[in-house]
Chain A
Amino acid sequence: MRNSYSLYLLIALFIFSCSSKESYEAVSESSLYPGGDAATTDDFSVNAFGHAAPKISDAKQMQFVTGNAFFKRNWVTAPASTEDLDGLGPLLNAKSCSSCHFLDGKGEPGFEKGQSSALLFRLSVENAEGKVVPVPNYGNQFNHLAIIGAKEEGDVKIEYEEVKGRYADGTEYSLRKPTYSFENLNYGDIDEKVMVSPRVAPHIIGLGLLEAISKEDILAIADPDDKNNDGISGRPNYVEDVVEGKKVIGRFGWKANEPTVKQQVAGAFQGDMGLTSTIFPAQNDTEAQLLASIINGGEPEVTDDILDRVTLYSQVLAVPKRRNARTKNVVDGQKLFHEIGCQKCHTPSFTTKDNADIEEFSNQKIYPYTDLLLHDMGEGLADHRPDNEANGVEWRTAPLWGLGLVKTVNGHTTLLHDGRARNVEEAILWHGGEAQNSQEEFKQLSKINRENLIAFVNSL
C-alpha cells in the first residue's frame, strides 16, 4: 500500500517539479486555517494562543473576558475579602491556571531553575484486589506547595541522564532521560510500589473544537486489535463523565483521561489548586493528612458561574494560522510526514459535528493532527501507571497544532508528557512502541529531510 503511494507521489513530484507552481499543490487553502473559519487567529506574537475564536457571539466574547480574568488571577487563602477568589489549597501545585498554562501556552519542567508548577505527578498503587487506587497518605497527585498553616507534601527531585544515539548517516544525537524521586516528605513514607505519572501543562488552544469532533468519527479510526495489521492499534479511553454519571470517550489529558473540557477544568481546580466545585466537591487532601480543620472558601469554592466561564474560556481559545505552509522545505517535510507514517496517529483533519455544544464550532474543517486515541508508545516513554482504560505504556496522540509557536509564547521548545524532549527532533526520537517504525524511518532520513520534516511540524 505504502509503496504504491510513494510511487504515485514520486510521479506527481516529477510532473510538478517542471512547473513553478510545484509544491503549492499539496497544501489546500483550508489547511492554512487549522481552527476552521470559526477559530483561527492570525496573531503570531507572544499572545498567539490568547485569542477568543473570532466567530463566537458577543455574549460569549464577554464571558471569555470573565473567564480570562479567573484563568489568570491568583486564588487566595480563605477567608478573604475577595470572596469569589478564596479557598486555595490546603495543598496545591499552583495558585492560578495561568501559572502553568502561561499565556495559554505550554509549561516546561524547569527543574534547573527550581521546581516548576507546570509539571505535576499523578500517583497510585495497586491494592490487594488488584485495583488501581490513590496512594495512601498522598492521594492521587503530589502537591509540592501548601498554604500557610499546612505543610506541602514534599519536594520532587529530577535527574537527567543523557542517552546517546545515532542516525543512519552517522550523526550523533543525545536524549535526556529523567528519573524522578520524592524527598522531604511531610506526610510519612510513600508506598514503595507507587506508580508515578508525570504530566506537564499543555498549551490549550482549540479544545472546544476537539470536543466538537463526533464520537463516531473517533471510533471510525480506532483499531484496538490492529485488524489492518499496520502495527498501530489506536484505542479509545473510556472514562467517567461525572456530570452524566456514565462512561464516555476520553479526549483530554495526556492519557485521554478526561471526557470534557469542563471536567478537565474542574479536575485541575481540585487537583492542582485545591479548589472545590460542584463537579468535584471534595478537597484535595487525604484524611491521613489531618488538614480537614482548615477553613474552606465556601461550598463549592469555585462557583458554577466561574467554572462555566473558565470552561468557556478554555474551549474557545483560537488556533493560530499556519506559517510558511507553502515554502518548499515545509511542503517537502509534509510529504515526509506522510511517507514515514506519522499521520497514522497524528490524523491531520476532522470535520466537526453539525450540532456542536458551541454552535459556532459546528461543521468546521479542522487540522489538529491527533486522533485522540491511545497508543502504545514503548518502554522509553512508559509511566507504568494505568489511567482508566489506558495502560502503563499508552499515551494519547498529542495534537500538533500551534506547536511551532510555543517558543514564541513560552520561550521554550520542550515537548512530551513530562517535557523531557528539548525540541521536536528529540520528541520524534523518543517515539517507540507503535511509532517505532516511523521513528526508525526518521532516523534513516538525510539531514536535510529531517530538517524539512521538523520545519513542517513547526509550521503547524
Chain B
Amino acid sequence: MNKAVTLLAAIVLLFSCNSEEKVSKEDIIENYAQIVYASYQDTYDQAEKLKQEIEVFINEPSDDGLQACKEAWLMAREAYGQTEAFRFYGGPIDGENGPEGQINAWPLDEAYIDYVASDNNNANIINSPEQYPEINAEFIASMNEKGSETNVSSGYHAIEFLLWGQDLSDGAGAGQRPYTDYIPADEAHRIHAERRQTYLLETAKLLLHDLNTVKQEWEPNQDNYRAEFTSNPEESLKKIFSGLGKLSKGELAGERMFVAYDLKSKEDEHSCFSDNTHRDIITNEKGIQNVYLGEYKMLNSDSTVNGPGVYHLLKSEDPELAENLKETIAKGLASSKKIEAPFDQQIKNPEGRKQIAATISLFRKQGDLFAVAANKFGFKFDPEAI
C-alpha cells in the first residue's frame, strides 16, 4: 500500500511539474481522498499499538507497562488529531451513523466509568459487577445512549481516564492513577482490578473497531463513501472547504480554545486527564495544513502523500487569497506551538493568555478566509456553525 501511495505521489508530481495547466478538481479530490485514507491508516495502526501495549500491561501490570500505554496513547492522538480536518461535513466519521461520538466524545462522565474522588465509589460501571456482570466492547457501546444521545463512555478519553485517572492537582500536573489499580486480588489496592483491566482493553478494541469502519469507507477501489466522494468533485469540494473552515473557527478557535480561555476554568479542556490539550490543538491545525497543501507525511514510515491541494486550486482562482491563507495557516501552526503545556495553566497566566488569544484570533481569521475562498467557487458556508 505504501508503495502505491508513493507511486501515486510520483505520478501526481510528474503531472504538476509538467505543465502550467490549471489543476483539476478531480485531482484535488483524489489526492484529498488519499490523504484521508493514509491518515486513518496511521490512526488505526497507532490504535492497534495502543491495544497491544494495553494487553502487555494488563497481563503483568507494572509502572513501566502503564507508562508504555500512556506513550502509545499520546502517539495515537498525534495521528487522530490530524484526521479531524475530515470532520464537519457529515462524512463517514461524523455523518448520521458516524462513530465520532463513540471515538472522541468529550466531556467524559468519568464517574460513570470508574471510581473518582468521592465517598460514593461504587456507583459506576467498573464497580457495579452485580448490575453490569459482563464488560465487553458491545456492552460499552450499548451504554452510550443512556440518557442522552451523546452520552458516551468510550473512546480515546475513556482510555485516557483509565490510564491517567482524575486530574485533581490544583497546579500543573496530569492525573496520577497508580498502576496498582490494575493489580487484582490485593486488598491494599483498588477493588475490581480485573474489571478495570477488561474495561480498558475492551474500550481499546471498540475504538479499533470504530476506526476500522471509518478507514474502510476511504479505502480506494471499493464500493464505499470514497467512491461516491471522488465521483462528485463539485459537491466534495464544498465539503472539504466547509470542513476546514468549521474546524478552524467554530470548533478549534471557539469550542476548544475560547471557551476555556473565556472562563479560565481549569480542565475545561479537551484532554484533561493527560494534560495533552496543547497537542490536540497543534495536530488539528496540522491536519488543516495537510489538506490545504495536499501533503501528508505518514507517521510510521517515510512515505508521503503529495499532490495538488486546495491551495493549488485556489491559487488558480485568486493567488493572493491562496497565499494569504497559506501564510495564516503557517502562522497559526507556529503560534499554537508556542502555547506551553499544560494548557490548563496557560489559560490562567497573562503570558499564556496572550499566546492563546493570538492563536485563537489566527484560527478565526483562517476560518473566515476559508469562507471567502468558498465564495470564489460559488458557494457559502458559516465557519462558526458546527
A residues with a Cβ closer than 8 A to B are 43, 47, 50-52, 62-63, 65-66, 68-70, 73-74, 76-85, 88, 92, 94-96, 99, 117, 145, 147-149, 293-295, 303, 305-306, 309
Task: Tell me if B148 and A83 are in contact (CB < 8 A).
Answer: no
Contact of B120 among A81, A96, A295 (CB under 8 A): A295
Q: What CA separation (Å) do A6 and B254 show in the bound complex?
A: 54
- Chain B residues closer than 8 Å to A74, beta-carbon distance: 107, 109, 148, 150-151
27 contacts across the A-B interface (CB closer than 8 A): A43-B382, A50-B385, A51-B385, A62-B258, A65-B254, A65-B255, A65-B262, A66-B262, A74-B109, A74-B151, A77-B111, A79-B116, A81-B110, A81-B161, A81-B166, A82-B272, A84-B267, A85-B107, A88-B109, A92-B147, A94-B148, A95-B147, A95-B150, A96-B148, A117-B147, A148-B112, A148-B124
Question: A74-B107, A78-B111, A82-B272 given as contacts; is B384 within 8 A of A99 (CB)?
Answer: no
Task: Tell me if A79 and B111 are in contact (CB < 8 A).
Answer: yes
- Chain A residues closer than 8 Å to B125, beta-carbon distance: 148
> Which 10 A-B residue pairs are closest in the complex by CB-CB distance?
A149-B123, A76-B109, A77-B111, A95-B148, A65-B254, A82-B107, A84-B265, A69-B259, A148-B123, A99-B148
A86 CB to closest chain B CB (Å) equals: 8
Question: A62-B258, A148-B112 given as contacts; is B167 within 8 A of A81 (CB)?
Answer: yes
Task: Tell me if A69 and B254 are in contact (CB < 8 A).
Answer: yes
How many residue-residue contacts, CB under 8 A, span A and B? 116
B266 CB to closest chain A CB (Å) equals: 6
Beta-carbon nearest neighbor of A145 in chain B = B147
Contact of A83 among B151, B175, B266 (CB under 8 A): B266
Beta-carbon nearest neighbor of B107 in chain A = A82
Q: What CA separation (Å) do A96 and B151 show in the bound complex?
A: 10
Tell yes or no: B188 within 8 A of A by CB: no
Q: What CA separation (Å) do A69 and B250 show in the bound complex?
A: 10
Tell yes or no: B149 within 8 A of A by CB: yes
Interface size class of B (residues with CB under 8 A): 35 or more
Question: A66-B259, A80-B116, A95-B147 given as contacts; is B111 within 8 A of A85 (CB)?
Answer: no
Beta-carbon nearest neighbor of B263 in chain A = A305
Task: Tell me if A47 and B382 are in contact (CB < 8 A).
Answer: yes
- Chain A residues closer than 8 Å to B148, beta-carbon distance: 74, 94-96, 99, 117
Residue from B107, B254, B266 having most chain A Cβ neighbours under 10 A? B107
Task: Tell me if A295 and B150 are in contact (CB < 8 A).
Answer: no
Beta-carbon nearest neighbor of A93 in chain B = B147
- Chain A residues closer than 8 Å to B265, beta-carbon distance: 83-84
- Chain B residues closer than 8 Å to A117, beta-carbon distance: 147-148
Tell yes or no: B268 within 8 A of A by CB: yes
A195 CB to closest chain B CB (Å) equals: 27
B294 CB to closest chain A CB (Å) equals: 29
A433 CB to closest chain B CB (Å) equals: 36
Tell yes or no: B18 within 8 A of A by CB: no
Beta-carbon nearest neighbor of A146 in chain B = B147
Task: Tell me if A77 and B259 are in contact (CB < 8 A).
Answer: no
B239 CB to closest chain A CB (Å) equals: 14
- Chain B residues closer than 8 Å to A77, beta-carbon distance: 109, 111-112
Task: Tell me if A62 and B262 are in contact (CB < 8 A).
Answer: yes
B314 CB to closest chain A CB (Å) equals: 24
Q: What CA separation (Å) do A206 and B58 show in the bound complex?
A: 55
A54 CB to closest chain B CB (Å) equals: 11
A334 CB to closest chain B CB (Å) equals: 29
Q: What CA separation (Å) do A81 and B113 show in the bound complex?
A: 13
Task: Tell me if A84 and B263 are in contact (CB < 8 A).
Answer: yes
- Chain B residues closer than 8 Å to A293, beta-carbon distance: 120
Q: What CA separation (Å) do A81 and B111 show in the bound complex?
A: 10
- Chain A residues closer than 8 Å to B161, beta-carbon distance: 81
Tell yes or no: B273 within 8 A of A by CB: yes
- Chain A residues closer than 8 Å to B111, beta-carbon distance: 76-80, 147-148
Question: A65-B258, A69-B254, A76-B107 given as contacts; is B175 within 8 A of A81 (CB)?
Answer: yes
Task: Tell me if B384 and A65 are in contact (CB < 8 A).
Answer: yes
Tell yes or no: B163 within 8 A of A by CB: no
- Chain A residues closer than 8 Å to B273, beta-carbon distance: 81
- Chain B residues closer than 8 Å to A81, beta-carbon distance: 110, 161, 166-168, 175, 267, 272-273
Question: A47-B382, A81-B175 given as contacts; is B262 within 8 A of A63 (CB)?
Answer: yes
A386 CB to closest chain B CB (Å) equals: 31
- Chain B residues closer than 8 Å to A295, beta-carbon distance: 118-120
- Chain A residues closer than 8 Å to B110, beta-carbon distance: 76, 80-81
Q: What CA separation (Å) do A306 and B264 show in the bound complex?
A: 11
Q: What CA separation (Å) do A62 and B385 show in the bound complex?
A: 13
Tell yes or no: B108 within 8 A of A by CB: yes
B105 CB to closest chain A CB (Å) equals: 8
Write the B112-143 contact mask toward A (1 if CB under 8 angstroms, else 0).
Answer: 10001111100111001000000000000000
Residue from B117, B119, B268 having most chain A Cβ neighbours under 10 A? B268
- Chain B residues closer than 8 Å to A147, beta-carbon distance: 111, 123
